[in-house]
Amino acid sequence: MDKGLYTKREDGRKMAEVRPMNAKVGIVPSADGSASFETGNTKAIAVVRGPRTLHPQHMQNAQTGILRVSYGMMPFSVSDRIRPGPNRRSEEISKVSEWALSSVIDLREFPNTVVDVFIQIPQADAGTRVAGLNAAALALAHAGIPMKEMISAIGVGKIDKTLVVDLDKYEDSEYHDGEGSTDIPVVVTSRTKEIALLQLDGKISIPEFKETIEMAKKACGDILKVQMDALKNVTEEQDE
Amino acid sequence: MSNTIMPNLQKEKIESSLVENKRLDGRTAVDYRDIIVEDGVSKNAASAVRVKFGKTEVLAGVHLALATPYPDSADEGTFMTSAELHPMASQEFDIGRPGINSVELARVIDRGIRESGFIDFKKLCIKKGEKVWQVFVDIFTINDDGNLLDVAGLAALVALGRARMPIYNEEEDKIDGFSEEGIPLNKDVLSFSMTFHKIGNVIVADVGKEEEAVSKFRLTIAVGNNKGEPRITAMQKGKAGTINSEDMEIILKLAEDKWKELFPKIKEYVFK
């Protein structure tokens, strides 16, 4: 069988190997919940504030609290400076992240409130939305927001003909040979193993796609372990 | 959940404690919190650093980009400071358009650096009238526990002090990674800002968030070095209270003492 052009990863990882991970819970003392999550050179932080009263009032829901997610990259996170503030890309990622997190949290105990999740990327090397979601899930758990289950997130994909886990920047956006690069961010729920976020950009066959999802589920199992360890070792006391 | 309203009781507690030169966290009125400076926030920028005063935490990064000079300074690089008081850092910050506090913070820091001559803008000229380096300082707040102005000010200086100069590829008119060299700075004009607040009748240095909320006025003073003696390079008063001459004497004396204590450390942070 034709193995294609991409037979070796630049950083020496196996095709299904996640970059070294590091998670910390309790990094912003004034917040209700906070966490950081790193994979390789990609770093994400997430902060939770709330439940708090939602303004304007007409957006309030008397049946349940609502979740609001804002994702952004810091100006110095990439080599070409990013203008501060929201843009189309960050707004879309905020929305899909909000859907993914909403699928596991339950805010019916907190009608008329909002829970704000702020995700920020200080240093980017691809996979920022999934690193952000791993941090956000930790921050929500840290804040004591009722959750039906945890989520873990990973980018999987295909480089030329080879299926890979956790694409870095070179694989994600600089590799153009052969069939090029396909990038698939996936969020997997911890207990029911359902998919809470799915995006795809590239070209991939149905059998290959199915296989990448299995690879994502397996990787998410490893990520979940890192998340659970971090939750057991909260680094700093929060302010009262 | 954090509390945004400052109860009168807490205000009285802060004020009465200060009469005995004590603060609720155990410091005297003029003590600074522990300062922590770290590198390596982002490999992708010319520099990106983390500065903490106690629990107040700020990140700052520097980028250099190619730009066209302004017509009135055709042989000088340009400079821009931006600050995000991100809602991540405090219950009181909102997302969206920068509010007046973000704008003031960025402008005070921008002015301080620009006017001091710390950056050698002439050396940032590539071709007169056509191509110069543009220096961006981006400030991002992580946790606000008071005195953001001084923490962000120091973060900006440290980020500039540690920034790497990019390599300009003239043939292809683009940037090719970073050199070993720093960006051109006039190291001897380094000045840093200290903000003092009046709380009750006491002048307080490096305020925490609650102290900041109950103070009558604040005065920010940037002080540099002139042959071993302190020299004021910028000032900004904030809030509605007024400064009497006694307050002014106390603040200036305090600024001088604190400058002598902190300046050697600050120099080390910036020019590590």
Weakly modelled stretches of chain B, pLDDT under 70: 1-6, 96-98
A49–B44 CB contact, under 8 Å: no
Nearest to A30 among B41, B97, B144 (CB): B144
Structural tokens at position A36:
């950081």
A77–B44 CB contact, under 8 Å: yes
Strand pairing category for A113-123 and A66-73: parallel
Structural tokens at position B228:
């071993």
Structural tokens at position B179:
């050199």
Judged by a CB distance cut-off of 8 A, whether residue B89 touches chain A is yes
Alpha carbon of residue A32 to chain centroid: 19
Helices (H), A19-60: none
- pLDDT attached to residue B84: 86
Using one digit for the tens of pLDDT, what is the confidence trace for A158-185? 999 999 999 999 999 899 888 889 999 9
Q: Which residue range is the domain that position A83 belongs to?
A: 21-230
Tally of domains within chain B = 1
Using one digit for the tens of pLDDT, what is the confidence trace for A144-159? 999 999 999 999 999 9
**Looking at A9-18, A129-138, A227-236, B117-126, which range is the least confident one?**
A227-236
B59–A122 CB contact, under 8 Å: yes
Going by C-alpha positions, the residue among B50, B160, B86, B202 that lies closest to residue A71 is: B86
- pLDDT attached to residue A238: 64
- CA distance to A72, A75, B28, B58, B95, per residue, from B84 (Å): 12, 10, 31, 10, 9
Mutation to test the B interface, candidates A24, A27, A30, A43, most B Cβ within 10 Å: A30
Distance from CA of B244 to the nearest CA of A (A): 34
Rg (CA), chain B: 20
Contact A75, B138 (CB under 8 A): yes
Judged by a CB distance cut-off of 8 A, whether residue B43 touches chain A is yes
Whole-number Å distance between alpha carbons of A95 and A109: 23
Distance from CA of B48 to the nearest CA of A (A): 7
CB atoms within 10 A of CB B272: 11
Whole-number Å distance between alpha carbons of A154 and A165: 8
Nearest to B41 among A30, A116, A123 (CB): A123
Whole-number Å distance between alpha carbons of B136 and B134: 7
Using one digit for the tens of pLDDT, what is the confidence trace for A78-91? 999 999 988 889 99
Whole-number Å distance between alpha carbons of A29 and A31: 6
Strand pairing category for B191-199 and B217-226: antiparallel
Judged by a CB distance cut-off of 8 A, whether residue B210 touches chain A is no
Contact A67, A56 (CB under 8 A): no
Distance from CA of B198 to the nearest CA of A (A): 24
Which amino acid, one-letter code, is at B171?
A: E
CATH number of domain containing A103: 3.30.230.70
For residue A29, being part of any structural domain is answered with: yes
Largest CA distance in chain B: 68
Going by C-alpha positions, the residue among B221, B264, B225 that lies closest to residue B243 is: B221
For residue A238, being part of any structural domain is answered with: no
- Tell which wins on pLDDT, B92 or A238: B92
For residue A3, being part of any structural domain is answered with: no
For residue B88, being part of any structural domain is answered with: yes
For residue A6, being part of any structural domain is answered with: no
For residue A237, being part of any structural domain is answered with: no
> What b/e readout covers B257-268, taking b as 16+ CB neighbours within 10 angstroms?
ebbeebbeebbe
CATH number of domain containing B21: 3.30.230.70
For residue B4, being part of any structural domain is answered with: no
- pLDDT attached to residue B5: 62
Residue numbers in A near B82 (CB within 8 A): 75, 84
Mutation to test the B interface, candidates A76, A80, A94, A123, most B Cβ within 10 Å: A76
- CA distance to B15, B50, B96, per residue, from A36 (Å): 37, 15, 23
For residue B1, being part of any structural domain is answered with: no
Whole-number Å distance between alpha carbons of A38 and A41: 7
Using one digit for the tens of pLDDT, what is the confidence trace for A181-217? 999 999 999 999 999 999 988 888 889 999 999 999 9
Structural tokens at position B123:
């050396």
Is residue A53 exposed (0-12), middle (13-18) or buried (19+ Cβ within 10 Å)? Answer: exposed
Contact A114, A145 (CB under 8 A): no
Nearest to B61 among A49, A70, A76 (CB): A76
- Cis? peptide before A56, omega within 30° of 0: yes
Tally of domains within chain A = 1
Using one digit for the tens of pLDDT, what is the confidence trace for A103-142? 999 999 999 999 999 999 999 999 999 999 999 999 999 9
For residue A12, being part of any structural domain is answered with: no
Whole-number Å distance between alpha carbons of B14 and B59: 29
The overall average pLDDT reported for chain A is 93
To 10 degrees, what angle do helices B148-161 and B100-116 make?
40
Q: Which residue range is the domain that position B201 belongs to?
A: 10-270
For residue B130, being part of any structural domain is answered with: yes
